[in-house]
Amino acid sequence: MKKKASPFFYVFLVVFVFVVMFPFLWMLICSVKPAAELFGDKAFTPYTSHPTLENYVSVFVDHPFLRYLWNSTVVATVTTVYTVCVASFAAYAIARLDFKGKTFILGIVLSVSMFPQIATITPIFIFLKNLGLTNSYLGLIIPYTTFTLPLSIWILVTFFRKIPLDLEEAAKIDGASLMQTYWKVIMPLAVPGIFTTAILVFIAAWNEFFFALTINTDEKYKTVPIGIAMFQGQFTIPWGEIAAATVVVSVPLVIMVLIFQRRIVSGLTSGSVKE
């Protein structure tokens, strides 16, 4: 017989959810406040008597925000597809194939992921500058793989190791090649892990700021984080517009996570048994 949860548990749960959601809720409130209520005595009021969509209109009318959204979408999507494809092959090889230096390779992958961006930006920028790739989509996609690929490999190696080896041995007995085993046996079972990895990579690429700020200085190729940062003027900071833009950028990610939350949880917690 299952025990009923204590009332204190529900109180704790409500408080916890409120604390986690508070920054987003406060940003949502600020996005519909008129400019006069964002400063002074009403700045910390958790409601507004005169809600307005003026900030949202200003984001799209006074700034090339649709261009920023398009740039971020292209860069994050291509980075995700490329990274997950490469990481899935690399992770499967590390998890399943026997070769010398496997531990060393995993150590290199881990060490690369630990490098701070400030330590790598100079050589990366010089490399891209010499190739003429600054102010381009490819100029961001290449450096984005330096931090998304190691993360993806580590996640997928752990997931591939959970897949029973008996399945691959059975496929070999049936005459399947290594690639046939990978595509027809391993991939269907690895979908939750690959999907989870893709979500994490997309979010990381979508939110990245430092590389985008340094490499793409042309207004035409700026991404959303850089575009929002450039909203402020010399003497004023349009907090209402910044809040509205932040809400617009966050909503697609929140919706995506809510829609695919079951797959994400399955990829992070479950093994490899197909339901």
- Which pLDDT score, from 0 to 100, does residue 267 have? 56
Q: Alpha helix (H) ranges present in 5-101?
A: 7-31, 54-61, 65-96
158 within some domain: yes
25 within some domain: no
The answer to whether the Cα torsion of 123, 125, 128, 131 is positive or negative is: negative
* Closest by Cα among 150, 145, 127, 124 to 78: 145
Residue 133 has which token pair? 């790739």
- Which pLDDT score, from 0 to 100, does residue 144 have? 92
231 within some domain: yes
108 within some domain: yes
Tens digit of each residue's pLDDT, the chain (275 residues): 556 667 788 888 889 988 988 888 888 888 888 887 887 777 777 778 788 888 899 889 888 999 999 999 999 999 999 999 999 888 888 887 777 777 777 778 777 777 788 888 888 999 999 999 999 999 999 999 988 888 888 888 888 888 887 887 787 887 877 778 888 888 888 887 888 888 889 989 998 999 999 999 888 999 999 998 888 766 677 888 888 998 888 887 778 777 776 666 665 555 444 44
- Which pLDDT score, from 0 to 100, does residue 233 have? 67
* Closest by Cα among 76, 196, 72, 85 to 144: 76
67-85 core/surface letters (b: 16 or more CB in 10 A; e: else): bbbebbeebbebbbebbbe
Range of the domain at 80: 61-269
Sequential DSSP letters for 94-158: HHH---TTHHHHHHHHHHHHHS-HHHHHHHHHHHHHHHT-SSSSHHHHHHHHHHHHHHHHHHHHH
Report d(CA 119, CA 121) in Å as an integer.
6
The values of phi and psi at residue 76, to 5°, are: -65, -40
87 within some domain: yes
Using DSSP, state whether 227 is helix, strand or coil: helix
For the chain, the domain total comes to 1
The CATH number of the domain where 99 resides is what? 1.10.3720.10
248: how many CB neighbours lie within 10 A of its CB? 17
195 within some domain: yes
14 within some domain: no
Report d(CA 163, CA 194) in Å as an integer.
13
